[in-house]
Amino acid sequence: MIRQAPKAENLIWDIILYMDMRVEKLHCFFIGILGGYLKIPNEGLATVRCTKVVRNVNLEKLRHNYLFPEIEARELEHLNKYPDANIIRLGIGDTTEPIPDIITSNMAEYARGLSTRKGYKGYGAEQGNKDLRKAIAESFYKDLGVKDAEVFVSDGAQCDISRLQLLLGSSVSVAVQDPNFPAYMDTSVIIGQAGDFLDDTLKYKNIEYMTCGPQNNFFPDLSTTSRTDIIFFCSPNNPTGHAASREQLTQLVDFARKNGSIIVYDSAYSVYITDDSPRSIYEIPGSRECAIEISSFSKIAGFTGVRLGWTVVPDELYYANKVPVINDFDRIVCTCFNGASRIVQAGGLACLSPDGFKAVMAVVDYYMENAKILVDTFTSLGLVVYGGVNAPYVWVHFPGSRSWDMFSEILKKTHIITVPGSGFGPGGEGFIRVAAFGRREHILEASARLTSVHLL
């Protein structure tokens, strides 16, 4: 159903956003007619000229919009209907607490130095500041055999996912956890690994979906999992919040080595682990021969808008033709990236100083206390809740309900933004994800609102 657009000029985009149809169906001629008919004050739209360039066929295979802009659009629609609503945003996993002063002061000092002859520097190494690479290796991979030269500093883990896809190419076969962070799937579609979308299964034809739900302790049954070239795996998992155990990751590494596969391991939430679950894939023997690890300062230090991450490519990881993978990744980085901001890297170094790391971990503890409040709230409502122990995400089950329906009901009754589990893949149907990133007063207010309404 098409909602009434608040402004006529937004109608075309509302049609694209809210109807389950492909953008390519709106041919240039059709857009021109609509533009002229609605008298859209967008100069030239009614007489739009198309090039002869054919659209990338893989982009045509993407389903709907990217998840988080879709949520944003629905939030705007809700605000149009309830303009006085006090929205509490527990959906998109964006940090809310200020970056500790010890870190921002270091960035500010470095930035001021750029205005001096002595302090100014231009391009840096594409792979990152040597001191920062060393600090990352020592801080997160101590005694795990990770060398400074194997650490590639970047502008964030999500950007590195795309660079890794460029490295891997379109001909590899791919497996993903189901549910999974959308970037793995969408980049697989864009680069041409996924094949056609199958409406009957809600899955892409060429992707191996590894079901990870409560029924199997959020870890795939590898005895029934087909061999693929690449295995995307996230722990602690986004969205379920599950941190894989040492036994589970040992099974995964053994499976990859047996099949000659490469694991792309996302450890962006490793600092949130509170038990003895591995914080890196490299804690598992044999993993240096089969795994690449990506991570980020976004959720460690509140760098979501500052942008800093890293990827580890071991020099023991080889292609089938005995070429080291690290050589090709280095070439990809040098070709597609001019290096992370020097100012931001100065902030990264401050994060990994003794006092800086203590400060950022205090913020991590704050978010985990938020998670406990949310877990207790949903549990008090009689709901089965997962996550919130080793990750800042709470995974709530609404049996018999559809995820988008629960998203809409919670938003309507409480003005709280969550994320529908089905947005992370068919395995997320019936769940919602709630992020613990928020100010304490907002978390407590959300708890009060949730306990005051009937959701089931």
Domain regions of the chain by residue span: 8-55, 67-98+356-451, 101-353
Over pLDDT 70: what percentage of the chain? 89
Distances (CA, A) of 342 to 106, 129, 130, 409: 11, 8, 12, 45
Q: Collect all residues with Cβ–Cβ distance below 8 Å to 123 and sequence separation of at least 6.
A: 338, 339
**34, pLDDT greater than 80:** no
Cα–Cα dist 21/12, whole Å: 13
Best CA proximity match to 377, nearest among 449, 430, 273, 272: 449
pLDDT band at 40 (very low <50, low <70, confident <90, very high): very low
What does the pLDDT average to over 419-444? 97
- CATH 3.40.640.10 for the 101-353 domain, yes or no: yes
* CB-CB contact of 267 with 297 (8 Å): no
Cα–Cα dist 213/400, whole Å: 16
**86, pLDDT greater than 50:** yes
**387, pLDDT greater than 90:** yes
Cα–Cα dist 72/91, whole Å: 9
**21, pLDDT greater than 60:** no
Cα–Cα dist 184/191, whole Å: 11
pLDDT of residue 337: 96
Query: pLDDT of 206-225, one tens digit each?
Result: 999 999 999 999 999 999 99
Q: Collect all residues with Cβ–Cβ distance below 8 Å to 138 and sequence separation of at least 6.
A: none
**Helix, coil or strand: residue 344:** helix
Cβ-based burial of 454 (10 A; exposed 0-12, middle 13-18, buried ≥19): exposed
pLDDT of residue 352: 98
- For residue 29, report the phi and psi dihedrals to the nearest 5 degrees: -65, -45
Cα–Cα dist 188/267, whole Å: 19
> What b-and-e string marks burial along 191-219, b requiring 16 or more CB atoms within 10 Å of the CB?
bbbbeeeeeeeebbeebbbbbbbeeeebb
**20, pLDDT greater than 50:** no
**13, pLDDT greater than 60:** no
Specify the pTM.
0.89
Cα–Cα dist 304/159, whole Å: 12
Both tokens of 410, joined, read 């919670």
**375, pLDDT greater than 80:** yes
Which CATH superfamily is 67-98+356-451 part of? Aspartate Aminotransferase, domain 1 (3.90.1150.10)
- The packing angle between helices 157-168 and 182-191, to 10°, is 30
Query: pLDDT of 123-176, one tens digit each?
Result: 999 999 999 999 999 999 999 999 999 999 999 999 999 999 999 999 999 999
